[in-house]
Amino acid sequence: SAVISQKPSRDICQRGTSLTIQCQVDSQVTMMFWYRQQPGQSLTLIATANQGSEATYESGFVIDKFPISRPNLTFSTLTVSNMSPEDSSIYLCSVEGDIYGYTFGSGTRLTVV
């Protein structure tokens, strides 16, 4: 299965600022997925990113707040914009494996103060 490197692993940010999270995959993949996991909660899909097209956002998530880039088949970024304490979560990227389900990065633990 694919190996995903996600950076940063954690960060503490001031409210009102933005943080860009990077996700690098060791193989070419068509779709990449970004999830949010709030403290003690399950995973919620933010958006699906295809290379060369606009990301598709789930209900409750908007591009202005969570802009996504997908410049090639191995890389994507998620930006959390104009952060507030409610954005404190773990953010995870994921790709669909060819056989063995979906693989996840190790996540970015974001704390907004």
Partner 1 sequence: GQQLNQSPQSMFIQEGEDVSMNCTSSSIFNTWLWYKQDPGEGPVLLIALYKAGELTSNGRLTAQFGITRKDSFLNISASIPSDVGIYFCAGQRGRLYFGRGTQLTVWP
Binding footprint of partner 1 on the chain (CB under 8 A): 1, 4, 6, 9, 33, 41-45, 48, 58-59, 92, 94, 97, 100-107, 109
With CA atoms as reference, report the closest residue to 83 among 47, 44, 112.
112
Nearer to partner 1, 33 or 66 (CB): 33
Nearer to partner 1, 75 or 104 (CB): 104
Radius of gyration of the chain (CA): 13
Q: How far is the CB of 36 from partner 1 (least distance, A)?
A: 11
Q: How far is the CB of 69 from partner 1 (least distance, A)?
A: 20
Q: How far is the CB of 27 from partner 1 (least distance, A)?
A: 16
Sheet holding 75-80, edge to edge: 4-7, 19-25, 75-80, 68-72
Nearer to partner 1, 36 or 84 (CB): 36
The rounded distance, in Å, linking the Cα atoms of 38 and 104 is: 16
Nearer to partner 1, 15 or 58 (CB): 58
Q: How far is the CB of 82 from partner 1 (least distance, A)?
A: 25
Spatial contact of 36 and 90, defined as CB atoms under 8 Å apart: yes
Residue 45 C-beta-side C-alpha neighbours within 13 Å: 13
